[in-house]
Amino acid sequence: MSDVIQLLPDHVANQIAAGEVVQRPASVIKELLENAIDAQATRIQVVIKDAGKTQIQIVDNGMGMSLTDARMSFERHATSKIKSAEDLFSLTTKGFRGEALASIAAIAQVELKTKDDESEVGTIIKIEGSEVTSQEACVTLQGTSISVKNLFYNIPARRNFLKSDAVETRHIIDEFQRVALAHPQIAFDLFHNGNELFQLPETNFRQRITNIFGGKTNEKLVPVTEETELVEISGFVGKPEFAKKSRGEQFFFVNNRFIKSPYLNHAVTAAFDGLLKEKSYPSYFLYLKVDPRSIDINIHPTKTEIKFDDEHALYAILRSAIKHSLGQFNVAPVLDFER
Ligand code: ADP
Ligand code: MG
């Protein structure tokens, strides 16, 4: 038998990778927001049309890119964020896989406009289905603007799989809120079809939470703080009497990254032991700072799951910190819920 194995062409490899990184418009928003944050932007604007299905644009005032980097940024496994495998164990940036822009450019029409502080002029690159169609100099401010049009235009099956505008917009808002909550010191705007959905000035954690969830949230928040060798915990839990019937407002951030953790969620619920009505869920906005070497983020392409070296200790510390806060704020005695 003759040899049959071939290396896939880049655009095919990119399209396959895109399947993992980009599920829906919200995934694009998440990746682009994270890039803007890694570029140290202090102001980030998100503009979407038709729930991101026809256009997503993200404008940041971060460090921008040189002409060469602008072109390189669309190559797969091209990243400025890590250099060696060791760096994987001490990540301080959101990105590191060098996959997002290559993936997005494989399945959409992308226009990147960028300028760094050293270049006189900026660069505009148009790329579609992994093919660069034009690259020109342009006049622009320092920072980066990326527009992503017609997501999945060349993968009809994926495009048809997208849900209604209402559902896709909900996903976008969820991602937007997670990133905005993790970075209160950055100003964020979100516009949909010309309407402003959020305008978030730079502020502190507490104010960011109330700017997103409404002024009334403020009085529901009980501060949580704890500092141990393993972890620094800050943030808030909602008073038990405001616990909800659904899991809406539950957020863990580890080193400023939103993560999902059923295990740590259990620790929070355990701390509320006896204070909650049946089938109600406490709100929480908890920020955990740990040594980047003590976690592994590289479990899944979307990076919402983390492996902690010492999960059990973390569980115990979190639970006792929250118990302590609830006690200190005299939450327990005023309650008389039937169990
Ligand atoms: P990663 O974020 O994992 O490095 P990406 O494909 O998302 O991979 O981006 C590739 C590279 O492009 C980044 O490492 C960064 O150098 C550059 N880049 C992407 N977005 C921006 C941005 N908004 N501002 C400045 N540089 C950016
Ligand atoms: Mg990235």
> Residue 273 is part of a domain; what is its CATH number?
3.30.230.10
Residues 233 and 273 in one domain: yes
Taken in order 135, 136, 137, 138, the sign of the CA dihedral is: negative
Residues 164 and 284 in one domain: no
Residues 42 and 183 in one domain: yes
- For the chain (339 residues), the mean pLDDT of every run of 10, in chain order, is 90 85 95 98 98 98 97 94 87 89 97 97 97 96 98 94 97 97 98 98 97 93 96 96 86 95 95 89 96 86 86 97 89 47
Here the ipTM equals 0.99
Q: Report which of 11, 23, 108 is spatially closest to residue 300, judged by C-alpha positions.
A: 23
- The domain total for the chain is 2
Residues 166 and 242 in one domain: no
Tell me if 261 is assigned to some domain.
yes
Range of the structural domain that residue 187 is part of: 10-200
Instruction: Name residue 172's amino acid.
Output: I
- Nearest residue (CA) to ligand 1, atom 27: 35
Residue 338 confidence (pLDDT): 41
The terminus-to-terminus CA distance of the chain in angstroms comes to 72
Cα–ligand 2 centroid distance for 108 (angstroms): 16
Alpha helices in the chain (DSSP H): 10-21, 25-38, 67-72, 100-106, 156-161, 165-182, 205-213, 262-271, 311-328
Tell me if 206 is assigned to some domain.
no
Tell me if 24 is assigned to some domain.
yes
Ligand 1 within 6 A of CB of 145: no
Please report, for the domain that includes residue 106, its CATH number: 3.30.565.10
Residue 103 confidence (pLDDT): 95
Residues 103 and 243 in one domain: no
Ligand 1 within 6 A of CB of 71: no
Residues 28 and 114 in one domain: yes
- Find out whether 183 and 38 touch, Cβ atoms under 8 Å: no
Residues 196 and 219 in one domain: no
- Nearest residue (CA) to ligand 1, atom 17: 73
Taken in order 46, 47, 52, 56, the sign of the CA dihedral is: negative
Tell me if 336 is assigned to some domain.
no
Cα–ligand 1 centroid distance for 79 (angstroms): 6
Write out the DSSP string of 69-110. HHHHTTSTT--SS--SGGGGGG--SS--SS-HHHHHHHSSEE
| 281 secondary structure, DSSP code | B
Residue 330 confidence (pLDDT): 64
Residue 66 confidence (pLDDT): 97
Residues 81 and 191 in one domain: yes
Which of 59, 76, 79, 127 to probe ligand 1 with, by most ligand atoms within 8 A of CB?
79
CB half-sphere exposure, 139, CA atoms < 13 A: 0
Residues 238 and 292 in one domain: yes
Rg (CA), the chain: 22
Ligand nearest to the CA of 17: 1
